Amino acid sequence: MKMINGGVCAAKGFKANGIHCGIRKSQTKRDLALIFSDVPASAAAVYTTNLVKGAPIAVTKEHIADGIAQALICNSGNANTCNANGIEIAEQMSQLAALKLGIGAEDVIVASTGVIGQPLDIEPIANGIDELADGLSCDGNDFAAEAIMTTDTKKKEVAVEFEIGGQTCHMGGMAKGSGMIHPNMATMLVFITTDAAISPKMLQKALSTDIQDTFNMTSVDGDTSTNDMVSIMANGLAGNEEITDDGESFAVFMKALNTITVHLCRMIAGDGEGATKLLECKVAGAKDIQTAKITAKSVICSSLVKAAMFGADANWGRILCAIGYSGADVDVNKVDVVFQSKAGEISVCENGASVDFSEEKAKQILLEDEIDILINLNDGDAQATAWGCDLTYDYVKINGDYRT
């Protein structure tokens, strides 16, 4: 497994682009993205668990019901959610892209992100589609990644090279997500491409399995969005024998996918709205995987823990508190807690009780921009990891006037 450049364009046969078409008021921000495969691809997706869902989700579900897609169009600045004509607009977006690309509208994945409850005008998208499609290129991933950003402060891209059955394969992904991020999907859009050959059934299995340990273990603020989507297209141009069942090839594919998704999870959590620190909570010694996951997510979602990390305050009692109300079957008298960063590590709790530690050293460790919260439940062999960020003054500032 080798990290490479190229994002969603790293895989053979994929091109991308992103432009400013006028959805967003700022003339300097791109707001419309397109990804295109030279050939039809296996397609799979997972969606938000929120009962309120953006119109693009309904359209995409219908379009990829046959497991095939060839293009993806996404706008930022408007979520196209809770709009009376939302389905119509999402279908029109698909049709505009399809007509320009010479494919069927049913082979287009469509997504939107931004403000909820405001009508989305199709006119700027229609006016920009020629520029968007004509600008597709094998190095257009940066423009596409920029065009799906909302409150994100940085583009989120990653790509890997790997081998299946003697054939070199590539996989790349891009994501947006900064706020309304909470386990069981979040306000994030993640688009993944690969030139590996895999059946739609196995592609869906791979994605649905992977997100349980990655995107569903990521939280910024406890709000689950309406428009979350993770989609993947696999066009098979790498030339490997198609993966149609479990086995060594599927395991390699899963490893590549997990490499992509973990990197994107860390990028999303680290770029949380107003965040200054990426938090990674690793729980070990749990009696089962469910206990480990519940514990890790409870800690990473705790506003008090997040605030303490912002202040570089080694208030480990808040971690025990979060474990205690998590609902996990844990013996709190066995719990150990360690804080770790590139500045070192320090034990702050053993067997559920305080230990003598240097507050000065702890503060130095917690002043770093990436903090590991290491928890050992000392009750088994299961483990899990969750990702989050600190809670800062800027989070309130950003969300206090997000719409206006």
Separation in Å, CA 153 to CA 68, 88, 150, 187: 33, 31, 8, 15
Q: Which residues are catalytic?
A: 187
- pTM value? 0.86
Number of folded domains in the chain? 2
Which residue stretches of the chain have pLDDT < 70? 178-187, 220-227, 272-274, 398-399, 401-404
Check residue 181 and give its pLDDT.
Answer: 47
Q: What is the 3-state secondary structure (H, E, C) of 65-120?
A: CCCEEEEEEEEEEECCCCCCCHHHHHHHHHHHHHHHHCCCHHHEEEEEEEECCCCC
Range of the domain at 256: 2-270
Check residue 403 and give its pLDDT.
Answer: 58
Check residue 402 and give its pLDDT.
Answer: 55
DSSP line for 315-354: -THHHHHHHHTS-----GGG-EEEEEETTEEEEEEETTEE
Check residue 272 and give its pLDDT.
Answer: 66
Containing H/E element for 247?
none
Same structural domain for residues 70 and 26? Answer: yes
Same structural domain for residues 241 and 297? Answer: no
Same structural domain for residues 130 and 252? Answer: yes
Check residue 317 and give its pLDDT.
Answer: 96
- What CATH number does the domain containing 362 carry? 3.10.20.340
Containing H/E element for 149?
none
Check residue 117 and give its pLDDT.
Answer: 84
Residue where a domain stops, chosen among 250, 270, 290: 270
Residue where a domain stops, chosen among 213, 240, 270: 270
- Render pLDDT for 223-247 as a digit per residue (tens, 0 to 9): 455 567 899 999 999 999 999 999 9
- What CATH number does the domain containing 55 carry? 3.60.70.12
Check residue 186 and give its pLDDT.
Answer: 42
Check residue 257 and give its pLDDT.
Answer: 98
Check residue 337 and give its pLDDT.
Answer: 98
- Residues making up the chain, counted from first to last: 404
Same structural domain for residues 301 and 244? Answer: no
